[in-house]
Chains A and B, each alone.
Chain A
Amino acid sequence: KQEVTQIPAALSVPEGENLVLNCSFTDSAIYNLQWFRQDPGKGLTSLLLIQSSQREQTSGRLNASLDKSSGRSTLYIAASQPGDSATYLCAPDSGAGSYQLTFGKGTKLSVIP
């Protein structure tokens, strides 16, 4: 069974700092990995999707990398802003079907103005 670990569980940084969120997973037989953002009381917003054939994906200030063989992914956020404050969730698919995402517990990010 896929297990996903996200480190750190919580992170507080001053505005403007660059930061890295880490995700590790136990089963490397995945097709894709997604990073989501969750704001309190709201649903999930998909940030980046990395296919297993890719090494990284970029969207604006966000860059996600994937090392499938070692079971690791990182989300890099450049020049953090208070609006980036949220919980960030990593979700590789199960390999049995891309709809079966396995989520980590998330990293709660606070960006201090």
Chain B
Amino acid sequence: GAGVSQSPRYKVAKRGQDVALRCDPISGHVSLFWYQQALGQGPEFLTYFQNEAQLDKSGLPSDRFFAERPEGSVSTLKIQRTQQEDSAVYLCASSLEQARPAFFGQGTRLTVV
């Protein structure tokens, strides 16, 4: 595609609900990154994939967060039993080869009520 696509753009979840956020990277991009941006803050690193391999998940805030990229293209960030502190914009980024986020999607704004 023309750019990194994320869906849904907005998600409202009741506390305790599970959510799944999708990222479609630019076609052929090897590296994929997830970042979390709370209101008024800069983005914070969550996890990094190279193809289907999750090379770093040190930024995931708890074991309720899980990310996968089974075929090395589309990625899904899953949050189980959502809490209010999970409310944030979740940004996905991809890059062709280098291990550095180059192109960001518009993000998914998650609001937990």
A: residues with CB less than 8 A from B are: 4, 32, 34, 41-46, 49, 89, 91, 93, 97-106
B contact residues, range: 20 to 34
Q: Secondary structure at chain B's binding surface: helix, strand, loop or mixed?
A: loop
B18 at the A interface (CB under 8 A):
no
B45 at the A interface (CB under 8 A):
yes
Can you list 13 A-B pairs with a CB-CB distance of less than 8 A? A42-B106, A43-B91, A43-B93, A43-B105, A44-B93, A89-B43, A97-B48, A97-B56, A98-B99, A100-B48, A102-B42, A103-B44, A105-B41
CB contacts (< 8 Å) of A41 on chain B: these are: 106
Please report the C-alpha to C-alpha distance between residue A100 and residue B44 in the assembled complex, in whole angstroms: 9
CB contacts (< 8 Å) of B105 on chain A: these are: 43
**Quick one: closest A residue to B58, CB to CB?**
A100
Please report the C-alpha to C-alpha distance between residue A106 and residue B37 in the assembled complex, in whole angstroms: 12
By the criterion CB–CB under 8 Å, are A44 and B104 in contact? yes
CB contacts (< 8 Å) of B4 on chain A: these are: 43
CB contacts (< 8 Å) of A105 on chain B: these are: 40-42
Given contact pairs A97-B56, A98-B100, A99-B99, A89 touches B106 in the complex (Cβ within 8 A): no
By the criterion CB–CB under 8 Å, are B48 and A99 in contact? yes
Please report the C-alpha to C-alpha distance between residue A102 and residue B41 in the assembled complex, in whole angstroms: 11
Q: Which of B40, B41, B43, B48 contacts A44 (CB 8 A)?
A: B43
CB contacts (< 8 Å) of A106 on chain B: these are: 42
